Amino acid sequence: MGIALAKQTIEQYFIDSWVLTPIQFDGTEIDVSTNDDWISLKYVPVKNSNYGMDGTLRGRTKYNGQLQVFCYAKNVPLTYTLADSVLEFLSSRVLASDINVDIGQAQGNAIDTDNNFYEMLVTFEVNNYE
Amino acid sequence: MSLSSEFQDLLSKQEQIINRYVVNLHTELIRSTPVDTGTLKSAWELKKVSATHWVMSNNMEYADIIFRGIRAGVKGGSKQLPDGVYPILQRFNLELQEELQKLKG
């Protein structure tokens, strides 16, 4: 359940608490033609590893993943502001089921996507333990 | 072994580990880079600035579009690299930190 749980928990956190823009979840489609801004979520599993408090590697698994939040707005300053809001919303949070979200990183600047939006990517390292 | 030479030995081991990870990461990024004409793949550069400071870069105009991966509603991205390069960077960073942690004992 490790990687599925992390993805579900993060998406549920956004559903429950994110009010600034519409959200496009991985594998779903939304119509953004009438929106001024929106975000898109993608969770990518990165590495699973064994660990144990008793010095052995039996019994517990650490799931490491990356949440990618793509932020879209109509101009560069608004895109930066939206990315800042996402960073503030999620950085250094412990979510349900002991899903630990590290401090977020903006990856590069705002780029023109050729569909009337600018895009910034914010990534978060996510760890959970089973 | 004196404290000074022990410290030098530790620094040397640290440098060796970092060198190995940088070379492996550079290789992995080249391997993962999508190929259309091959220009993007051949644009990777690697420079050593100091013992523990390396710079890896790709200055192709559309690199940022491709390296962010495939995302909904946006043109760009490649099926050859659907999640972009950032999960690769995270994995290498994670493994490098684990390796350096072992060195500390």
Domain annotation for chain A: domains and CATH numbers? 2-129 (3.30.2000.10)
Determine the Cα–Cα distance for residues A89 and A103; give it in Å rounded to an integer: 10
Q: How many independent structural domains does chain B possess?
A: 1
Domain interval for residue B54: 3-104
pTM: 0.91
Question: Of B71, B90, B91, which has the smallest distance from its Cβ to A70's Cβ?
Answer: B71
Determine the Cα–Cα distance for residues A128 and A94; give it in Å rounded to an integer: 10
Determine the Cα–Cα distance for residues A6 and A10; give it in Å rounded to an integer: 6
B73 neighbourhood in chain A, CB within 8 Å: 24, 29, 32, 40, 115
Question: Of B65, B68, B90, which has the smallest distance from its Cβ to A66's Cβ?
Answer: B90
From A105's Cα to the closest Cα of chain B, the distance in A is 11
DSSP-based three-state secondary structure for A26: coil
Show the beta-strand stretches assigned E in chain B.
44-50, 53-58
Contact B76 A46 (CB under 8 A): no
Q: What is the pLDDT along chain B (105 residues), one digit of tens a residue?
A: 688 888 888 888 999 999 999 999 999 999 999 999 999 999 999 999 998 899 999 999 989 999 999 998 787 789 999 999 999 999 999 999 999 998 877
Q: Which residues lie below 8 Å from residue A69, measured CB to CB, with a gap of 6+?
A: A39, A40, A41, A86, A90, A104, A121, A122, A123, A124
Model confidence over A44-90: pLDDT tens digits? 999 988 876 666 666 788 899 999 999 999 999 999 999 999 999 99
Q: What is the ipTM of this complex?
A: 0.88
Tokens of B53: 């400071």
A114 neighbourhood in chain B, CB within 8 Å: 75
Contact A119 B74 (CB under 8 A): yes
